[in-house]
Structure 1
């Protein structure tokens, strides 16, 4: 498997998105609208179609899902362990801990399709359906100041969760999509991957956050640096290593093992910034974590895929 050639198209789209954001004059409002389109329309169509179209069952894929969930669990545990271990600034911790275990859905699905075709995409869609609710719950919990009543309502409206559940239910009922509907979903899915990766590039923030700037409060700056290293290492080292060990222990088929490890090695989710900002956290610090995670994963993803 020529991994650099495999990754090049997706990395090129991310770079194009970065260049368009800075030089095409489209504006932040355009990119915000594009992200909403991908999240609420295009990606749900991609997930639903991938599950219904391919002959996979959750039962056959349970060992792979177990590897992904095991890696996710390690990410959550190590992420929250930063509080007693580092005694960080609370706002920075609450805002950034989600970056230790959340994953970039855009890159995950695009790369799964390139690695395993439609079967790889379907396997990855199952992982997404299982992990997204748990990741959202853990992320919101870290920032919540009141009860978790609103958390369950938010999960019930999550379009990725709903699309996955609908796809599994349709598959379990033995229903088949008419050819015109299937063709429409395939076209929406193709648009999701392209536009999603462009949005990833547009969201890159290479400037240092205020908490990490040279003139910042020394304690806050030290805390930001420590958390950046801790969360990035958890997401890009501890999680894929756990997935790899579980995959080998369970003797997963090659494609299942590769998809599980690839999922665990993904950079953190751009949506982490939206959640932190919406819930009163430190948005610039989270934007910095997202960018560091993405850039570091460019070296980590080929390494972990080669091992898997």
Structure 2
């Protein structure tokens, strides 16, 4: 019971911020222009700065976490391969296939960082930072490839779409600073800390504002399958792979938690950019985010 109470307490600020965003948007307390500006500010500046800060100064332990990172890559590639096989068998249109891929391999970093900080402390944050440094470029490349099929995009165009992603740039610059042991003067370093501290609360509120439950009335079978796949099947796959690689309990918990996160809100932006089924993507994001509040406590109780 104590474990369940601690998980609920840890989730409360996340759920509260998401609920605030949903209420603010539905009551028009803040205008649509505000939300567009907030998402743009966070996606292009605040969140990349947060990723940079998390990666520029963390102590990378590549050798000790080789198995963890290998497990992460196997999980992402296995999930993608299963989806590509399903696409060939069921002849899934590209506009929807890109949605399905993102719904299973992308993750809400805002929620992930908050949970790691609240439940697993500095050690969990360090491991999560290394995982997102690897996962963000990988899942973005796979997502772009999922949408690019059938659109006649050249490899150069696909590469450019990936390289200009601000989240990838934030990760790359942070890793370069870390590996070269570079430093910033204290004033700029403090400014970046202030900017980074704004990202998570604004991001969680924006997640709530982006929820669109009207879409749940349509395509409910697809939405349900995507949600069950992401919140139940993928974490089970992660646990199986962790067991196969003999990871310790802490590493297993971090990886399973990582794989239990709902898909990223930014998936909607990429879907619109490639003319995918953005309404279906909105429904997937909304339902996964809502169900996560119920599946995550149960998952944690089973793991602990």
2:261 alignment counterpart: 266
Asked if structure 1 preserves the Cα contact closer than 8 Å seen for 2:17 and 2:201, the reply is yes
CA change 1:234–1:189 in 2 (3 A) is same
1:293 aligns with 2:288: yes
2:199 alignment counterpart: 192
Looking at structure 2, the residues matched to 229 and 85 of structure 1 have their Cα atoms a distance apart, in angstroms, of 20
Asked if structure 2 preserves the Cα contact closer than 8 Å seen for 1:72 and 1:239, the reply is no
Cα displacement (A) at 1:10: 0.8
1:238 aligns with 2:226: no
Corresponding residue to 1:279 among 267, 270, 274: 274
Cα displacement (A) at 1:191: 0.8
Q: Deviations over 1:120-151 (max 9, x none)?
A: 22322221221122212222222221133222
CA RMSD after TM alignment: 2.3
Corresponding residue to 2:82 among 57, 78, 102: 78
2:67 alignment counterpart: 63
Asked if structure 2 preserves the Cα contact closer than 8 Å seen for 1:237 and 1:265, the reply is yes
Asked if structure 1 preserves the Cα contact closer than 8 Å seen for 2:94 and 2:146, the reply is no
CA change 1:108–1:283 in 2 (3 A) is same
Q: So what's the TM-score if we normalise by structure 2? A: 0.87
Cα displacement (A) at 1:82: 3.4
Corresponding residue to 1:4 among 2, 8, 33: 8
Q: Deviations over 1:221-251 (max 9, x none)?
A: xxx3443233222211222112222333434
Looking at structure 1, the residues matched to 235 and 120 of structure 2 have their Cα atoms a distance apart, in angstroms, of 18
Gaps of 5+ in 1: 214-223
Looking at structure 2, the residues matched to 243 and 178 of structure 1 have their Cα atoms a distance apart, in angstroms, of 41
Cα displacement (A) at 1:195: 0.5
1:170 aligns with 2:177: yes
CA change 1:60–1:164 in 2 (3 A) is farther
Asked if structure 2 preserves the Cα contact closer than 8 Å seen for 1:75 and 1:238, the reply is no
Looking at structure 2, the residues matched to 148 and 67 of structure 1 have their Cα atoms a distance apart, in angstroms, of 28
Cα displacement (A) at 1:89: 5.8
Looking at structure 2, the residues matched to 99 and 59 of structure 1 have their Cα atoms a distance apart, in angstroms, of 30
1:138 alignment counterpart: 142
Looking at structure 2, the residues matched to 197 and 112 of structure 1 have their Cα atoms a distance apart, in angstroms, of 15
1:37 aligns with 2:44: no
Asked if structure 2 preserves the Cα contact closer than 8 Å seen for 1:75 and 1:235, the reply is no
1:101 alignment counterpart: 105
Looking at structure 2, the residues matched to 176 and 116 of structure 1 have their Cα atoms a distance apart, in angstroms, of 27
Q: Deviations over 1:154-177 (max 9, x none)?
A: 221222222222222222223344
Looking at structure 1, the residues matched to 187 and 247 of structure 2 have their Cα atoms a distance apart, in angstroms, of 36
Asked if structure 2 preserves the Cα contact closer than 8 Å seen for 1:97 and 1:142, the reply is yes
Asked if structure 1 preserves the Cα contact closer than 8 Å seen for 2:111 and 2:261, the reply is yes
Looking at structure 1, the residues matched to 55 and 96 of structure 2 have their Cα atoms a distance apart, in angstroms, of 38
Q: So what's the TM-score if we normalise by structure 1? A: 0.86
CA change 1:277–1:51 in 2 (3 A) is closer
CA change 1:90–1:187 in 2 (3 A) is closer
CA change 1:28–1:255 in 2 (3 A) is farther
Looking at structure 2, the residues matched to 129 and 91 of structure 1 have their Cα atoms a distance apart, in angstroms, of 28
Looking at structure 2, the residues matched to 94 and 162 of structure 1 have their Cα atoms a distance apart, in angstroms, of 22
2:52 alignment counterpart: 48
1:194-209 equivalence runs, <5 A: 194-208=201-215
Cα displacement (A) at 1:254: 4.3
Corresponding residue to 2:165 among 158, 165, 174: 158
